[in-house]
Structure 1
Amino acid sequence: KANMVFLESPAGVGFSQPVLNDTDYNDNFTTNRAYEFLEQFLELYPRYKNREFYITGESYAGIYIPFLVHKLVASPIANLSLTGFAIGNPFTDNIIDGTGECTSECESALEAGISMSEWDNSDVLNQYYIYGDVCKLQSNNQSKTLIPNKNIRPLTHRGLVGPCQDVYTASYLQLPTVQAAIHVIPDQIEWTDCSSAVTSHYTRSDSALSKYPTILQAGLKGLIYSGDADSNVNFIGTERWLTDEGLNLTVTEKWQAWFGPDKQLAGYTVRYTNLTFTTVKGAGHMVPAHRPLHALYLFECFLYGNRACQSFKYPKDALEYLSGADLGATTTAVVDSSANVWWVIGSLAALVGVALLGWRGYVHHFTSSYTELETKPIGSRK
């Protein structure tokens, strides 16, 4: 349905080499390198010129993508038809994002109100996915949602390997046969999901809000989505920078529930001028990893429109029976595989704990376990 390009950025994360000079690790430099990549990509693959083009990412992509989109709007690349962008659980503003977190007063009250054993056990709570299981293979799994300043990285509990997926992913990508199959240069690289060299030298921007006025005036399709089980970059802080504490966007369509192709409640959505904000029920920091079916449906509705995506055929899993999902509801229509669309989807979370290999399209081994229908997200102030 769409052509996808996975970009590991900045250089020094994943298979992207080499490690740069310390002074080169900042968001303006990263933006310029991504811009150069797009120019060169279109020259190498001219068949993708003038196709609808979207940029997506997660986490620190809340900085990377607005910086890059702003540059593309201000200085368009010839034959690159920038159409829209989507950012998941985006770190956007260093101050406003944190207003949705547990305050120091709340933390002190919580510590005083629970037993010592309960407080100690909070160490292993995964702040990126509060419903997730813990991988005992990882030495740094003390995620400490309630206790700050820990070395943490997001985990998932999907698939046959459960919460240890990241451990096995690293081992898999170390295999010489795998690296040969995906044409890694040089021949062998020690792949890790988090680059300490990049993290320790990168100068991070405090906010991307200043980029949005220009972006929103460009007439692009914009989607901000948040897994509501992520306590690290939670949807409450995101809603605040979209509204009265940040961009002060005007609501054009009020909060309403949205449902996946399995007829289950998938989250809530609100429409602002030139931008949509959507929560994904039961998903953590990496929405496609935790709610693959609903993530796929969300992206395709964003790409093709709500009416079109309702006619597409989607995968199903026997585990959905556990949630009462309607597995009997089938759809038959499928769009032409030669669709005139392509995406750049990058590993854009290196600085907050993980260098992803792009958008993870997990369409198998998904479950649902959630509660009754509400009229708006819990904690939303609008």
Structure 2
Amino acid sequence: MAGLMNFKHSIMLMQILGQISLCMKSSQGADNWVSEFSSEQNQSGLKEKWVDEFSKLNMDDWAEEFSGGAFGESSADPWADEFQNQLSASKSSGASRGVYVFSEMNPYVGHPNPMQEGQELFRKGLLSEAALALEAEVLKNPDNAEGWRLLGVTHAENDDDQQAIAAMLRAQEANPTNLEVLLALGVSHTNELEQGEALRYLSRWLQNHPKYGALAAPHQTDSPYGPDVVRLFNEAAQMSPEDADVHIVLGVLYNLSREYDKAIASFKTALQLKPQDYSLWNKLGATQANSIQSADAVLAYQQALDLKPNYVRAWANMGISYANQGLYEDSIRYYVRAVSMNPKADNAWQYLRISLGNASRSDMIAACDSRNLDVLQKEFPL
């Protein structure tokens, strides 16, 4: 299966945010399954927090950690205020969740073949331009499931899972059983802390698969229980050990339950079957980073970049891994590279600002806040 969505970096900014591990946003009923997997870590005395897989800080946790004076800063620090303001804005926009927001100015509207143009731009790694071309395509052909799917993939790689989910939902409307779309939705909902939705889409992937559909009863896809979903996918892996996609889903599921060693093993198995999948190398790196293996994560991200040099998310993830190791000057260079490729990557700008502070480069914070790429690229060449 080609074109799988990429996994965002589950970061553990130990130097910046304290101990963090990947779990899902708490919810009701079957979603409580994740707690079964976390008791060992809780018993160790670690204060567990979740920051999603690459780019958007869990702003409640960040502000709480930062205002707690962990770095000698007062609770009135403007960074904490800034993140609280962004949190409030993100909560107030929840009503539009799942609704795709088109760009106001789009030079590709009226293009004779925007789909082909979008595919070519995506191949070149020009993701922001590719998104515009693909928006022109779906405006022209609203029922083009593949156009919506590729638009969702583009947004996911460009660090915007909310737009990715909105596009994928439109793709699912046009083709409800598309396996790539169902798997992509499962991954993006994982990135967005939405455990219940992630489990539902991954269960639907299994139910609609021609080989594994018999494993999943229809009612199990309505409110799936995490350990049951893991068990079914392990059965699928025994049926078809050569199916990389099954191992990829298991890696995602083990991230949900914070069983990082198993997640790493699953992604490594998948990579033996799909060694040229740059997004899979990124998934492996994200999981290694969350398992306090930042040096290994750097190697995985480098593999992703070797395969796709214009992979914005991997550039930013590399910055996060260096920040995890306290190498803030190095992390700054990777963040600057990421935002230079996608100036709309708000979360990468946030991480850049944090690393500038930790690297005692407050002289560059104004350039960061004004998004002055010329100044930043000149000061931090890579």
TM-score for both structures, normalised by structure 2: 0.28
More strand by share: 1
TM-score for both structures, normalised by structure 1: 0.28
Q: Which has the higher contact order (CA 8 A, sep 6+)?
A: 1
More helix by share: 2
